[in-house]
Amino acid sequence: MSFAPTDEQRELQQLVRRFCEEKSPVAEVRRLMDTEDGFDTAVWDQMGKELGLQALFIPEIYGGMGYTVIEAGLVLEEMGRALLCAPFLSSVVLAANAILAGGTDEQRKLLLPGIAGGQVRGALAFAETTDTWQPGVATTEATPDGLHYRLKGLKTLVVDGHTAHTLIVSARTPGSIGTDAASLFVVQCDDAPGMTRRVLPTLDQTRKLATVEFDGTPAQLLGKIGSGWSTLEHTLQLAAVCLACEQLGGAARCLDMSVEYAKMRMQFGRPIGSFQAIKHRCADMLLGVESARSAAYYALSAAAANDELPMASALAHAHCSEVFSRAASENIQIHGGVGFTWEHDAHLYLKRAKSSEALFGGIRYQQDLIAGGIGL
């Protein structure tokens, strides 16, 4: 399976890159890091009204533009390059895909047009404070209440969960056991009784995470009882592919920063890029970035074709996580002492790399999936 972006897809990437350069310079990233919401609503609205990014790969019958996950991945590559502070991953990749995969046709028609238009921001709440990463095992309880349910429990590491209008929440119904017992529920957050949201202190301030606690919060079943794990599994596989593309963009930017600095920083009367040690570091970074591009683009092709997605997504996320973290670290080393300072931008990429590495179970979890897939 091979993939090379078309001219139209490249044009989309260039459009998003120009948008990010204009709307997400590092000074703006630093400003938004210190805000509670973590993003600019005006820029988010502009992304929807002028570029249609939120609608990109939601089907046309649900208010979207009907493109594939490939276009979403290429867009996220540019967003990762600019460290764009926006709830795109949480709303468009996680929440919208969960609704697409698990909701009824009526629920899709009700919930997706708002997300596609950017007026509604969604989030997926599935992680809990357990010792192991088991997204299909929920301790949050959903108790029937007439035609609806009431949720009780705690979710953590909810990406942009503090500002979402709509939450998709995994929970188990009374008497259910194991991953087959997980179901998904829709919570409308505006004035939802019994719900408490709190922003978490995190290493990467450019992507906000939250805890969400439910205490008798009204919710509506998404799809069917017991279908939560299959929906989560597919959604998280797609999310891992999209995150890998974002990591690729960040790693590529670290390489560019390193090369630019190596050309202009003078030492002993010549650019440090002329020294063999720096040349080798930059060459290794280039090799890593290109191998990450191959892994991410292969996973995009697998996702678009719905073929070999479990293995391809795990491989892409694990490899791109390692490449991004290594590139961000090398970027700081090449910049020397100034790279360690708060004033320099290099540390922003290192923090994003380490934070992204831990999302969706982390490298170890993805490697376990790969090992299980090949029978080890």
Spell out the per-residue pLDDT of the chain, length 376, in tens.
567 788 999 999 999 999 999 999 999 999 999 999 999 999 999 999 999 999 998 999 999 999 999 999 999 999 999 999 999 999 999 999 999 999 999 999 999 999 999 999 999 999 988 766 677 678 899 999 988 999 999 999 999 999 999 999 999 988 666 556 789 999 999 889 999 999 999 999 999 999 999 999 999 999 999 889 999 999 999 999 999 999 999 999 999 999 998 888 777 878 777 688 888 999 999 999 999 999 999 999 999 998 889 999 999 999 999 999 999 999 999 988 777 777 889 999 999 999 999 999 888 888 888 888 888 7
Whole-angstrom distance, CA of residue 145 vs CA of residue 143: 6
Q: Do 113 and 185 fall within a single domain?
A: no
Are the C-beta atoms of residues 243 and 79 closer than 8 Å to each other? Answer: no
The position carrying tokens 């867009």 is: 75
Does 207 share its domain with 303?
no
Identify whether the C-beta of residue 200 lies closer than 8 Å to the C-beta of residue 209: yes
Q: Which residues have CB under 8 Å from 296's CB, separation 6+?
A: 73, 77, 241, 244, 245, 247, 248, 316, 320
Of 205, 226, 247, the position where a domain reaches its end is 226
Q: In the 8-state DSSP scheme, what is residue 165? A: S
Are residue 358 and residue 326 in the same domain, yes or no?
yes
Domains contained in the chain, number: 3
Q: In this structure, what CATH number is given to the domain that contains residue 316?
A: 1.20.140.10
Asked if residue 1 is part of any domain, the answer here is: no
Q: State the DSSP H helix or E strand holding residue 285, giving kind and residue range, or none if neither.
A: helix 276-305
pLDDT of residue 267: 78
| SS3 of residue 135 by DSSP | coil
Q: Residue 98 is which amino acid?
A: A
With beta carbons less than 8 A apart as the criterion, state whether 62 and 108 touch.
yes
**63 shares a domain with 130:** no
With vertex at residue 96, the alpha carbon angle to CA 95 and CA 102, rounded to the nearest 5 degrees, is: 90
Backbone angles phi, psi at 166, to 5 degrees: -130, 130
For residue 29, give Cα distances in angstroms to 325, 328, 358. 20, 17, 21
Do residues 193 and 302 share a domain? no
The model carries a pTM of: 0.94
Same domain, 57 and 188: no
Same domain, 212 and 242: no
Is residue 269 in a domain?
A: yes
- Domain range enclosing 172: 123-226
* Residue 2 included in any domain: no
- For residues 108, 114, 117, 122, the Cα torsion angle rounded to the nearest 10 degrees is -90
Q: DSSP 3-state assignment of 103?
A: coil
Is 275 a domain residue? yes
Does residue 220 share a domain with residue 155? yes
User: What is the bridge-based pairing of β-strands 195-199 and 266-267?
Assistant: unpaired
131 & 102 share domain: no
For residue 173, what is the domain's CATH number? 2.40.110.10
Under a CB-based contact definition with an 8 Å cutoff, are residues 171 and 185 in contact? yes
- One domain for residues 278 and 360: yes
Identify the pLDDT of residue 20.
96
Residue 167, beta-bridge partner list: 123, 187
User: Do 283 and 358 reside in the same domain of the chain?
Assistant: yes
Domain CATH for 76 = 1.10.540.10
For residue 144, the cross-strand partners are 149
Q: Quote the tokens at residue 194.
A: 């019994």
As to burial, measured by CB atoms within 10 angstroms (0-12 exposed, 13-18 middle, 19+ buried), residue 7 is: exposed
Tell me if residue 156 falls in helix, strand or coil. strand
User: What pLDDT does residue 90 have?
Assistant: 97
